[in-house]
């Protein structure tokens, strides 16, 4: 796989920032409308809970090329069909279904979309992981993103990337490759940054056949303007560094990728051992 085939997603509802990052190497803008249940799941963590609105889709649509506007909706709920219709009418290219657990939810979502946009499943529950083969057989599923944030919490892991080295993600990727469904995994920091460096993660993406990831907060650090991003980094250069690291992984022999995988396992285990468990985090934040 070529580095140019790898899709980098950037979460924002800011039109100027969206236009800028697309011009500087990001591939898709990610509008996040998911709110149902999110505070309850992640309120004790340092994760960012977006406050995007449907109107943001309309603002961004004229500024972005076709195929570049992804919208995460709520999990399946009584208003799903209306949410889907509204997002499509406003111009969404890809609709993402989060927090599903089985094929029935996927079937309802795909039926609502009715081929008017691409469907991306966000696998972030244990049930979705275990039922993945049946879920991707549903007509209308175009791609999958394996979301490690909520998944690792539900699995009781201490560190987000533990499922990546425990065999759980590997089994999912085998299912997806067998079904011919393109997929991505989690998020990426800038090269040289993050508890697990991006270059190590990209070796895993190459080994597993992933072609997509979300650009993490290290690519904006809560910046509210293009000028603030530019003051922090050369955005295009940072994206290119990721592509070079991915290309290096793709061109490496499998023996080398397997050795790197063993190193990633060691690093993840060391990090996880130092992390508080969920109960400790909740007690700390009281």
Q: Measuring CA to CA, which residue among 281, 218, 213, 284 is closest to residue 41?
A: 281
- Domain 3-284 in CATH: superfamily? Phosphoenolpyruvate-binding domains (3.20.20.60)
Number of C-alpha atoms within 13 angstroms, CB side, residue 54? 11
CB 140 within 8 A of CB 115: yes
Q: pTM for the full model?
A: 0.91
pLDDT averaged over 10-residue windows placed end to end, the chain, 286 residues = 85 97 98 83 52 96 98 98 98 98 98 98 98 98 97 95 96 98 97 91 97 93 90 96 96 97 96 76 46
Question: Residue 4 has what pLDDT?
Answer: 75
Question: Residue 2 has what pLDDT?
Answer: 66
Q: At what angle are helices 235-250 and 198-208 packed, to 10 degrees?
A: 40
Strand 183-185 to 28-32 pairing: unpaired
- Ordered DSSP codes for 156-193: T-SSTTHHHHSSHHHHHHHHHHHHT--EEESEE--TT-
Which uninterrupted H or E stretch holds 28?
A: strand 28-32
Tokens of 32: 């996040």
Q: What is the DSSP letter of 139?
A: T
Tokens of 71: 């919208």
- List the domain boundaries for the chain: 3-284
- Ordered DSSP codes for 69-133: EEEE-PSS-TTHHHHHHHHHHHT-SEEEE-S--SHHHHHHHHHHHTTSSEEEEEE-SHHHHHTHH
C-alpha to C-alpha distances, 279 to 43, 99, 166, 180, 282, nearest whole angstrom: 13, 22, 22, 39, 5
Question: Residue 284 has what pLDDT?
Answer: 45
Burial of 4 (0-12, 13-18, 19+ CB in 10 A): exposed
């Amino acid at each position: 796989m070529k580095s140019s085939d790898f899709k980098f997603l950037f979460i924002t509802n800011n039109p100027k920032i969206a236009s800028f990052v697309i011009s500087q190497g990001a591939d898709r803008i990610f509008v996040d409308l998911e709110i149902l249940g999110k505070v309850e799941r992640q309120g004790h963590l340092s994760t960012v809970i977006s406050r995007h609105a449907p109107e943001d889709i309309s603002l961004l649509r004229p500024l972005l090329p076709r195929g570049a506007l992804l919208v995460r909706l709520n999990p399946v709920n009584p208003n799903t069909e209306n949410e889907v219709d509204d997002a499509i009418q406003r111009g969404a290219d890809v609709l993402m279904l989060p927090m599903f657990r089985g094929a029935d939810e996927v079937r309802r979502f795909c039926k609502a979309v009715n081929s008017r946009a691409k469907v991306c499943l966000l696998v972030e529950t244990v049930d979705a992981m275990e039922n993945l083969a049946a879920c991707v057989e549903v007509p209308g599923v175009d791609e999958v993103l394996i979301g490690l944030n909520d998944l690792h919490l539900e699995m009781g892991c201490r560190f987000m990337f533990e499922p990546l080295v425990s065999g759980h993600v590997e089994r999912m990727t085998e299912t997806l490759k067998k079904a011919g469904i393109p997929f991505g995994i989690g998020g990426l920091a800038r090269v040289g940054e993050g508890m697990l460096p991006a270059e190590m993660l990209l070796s895993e993406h190459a080994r597993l056949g992933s072609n997509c990831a979300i650009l993490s907060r290290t690519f904006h650090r809560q910046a509210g303007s293009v000028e603030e991003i530019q003051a922090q980094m050369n955005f295009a250069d940072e994206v290119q560094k990721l592509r070079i690291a991915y290309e290096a992984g793709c061109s490496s022999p499998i023996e080398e990728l397997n050795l790197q995988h063993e190193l990633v396992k060691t690093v993840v285990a060391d990090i996880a051992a130092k992390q508080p468990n969920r109960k400790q985090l909740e007690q700390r934040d009281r």
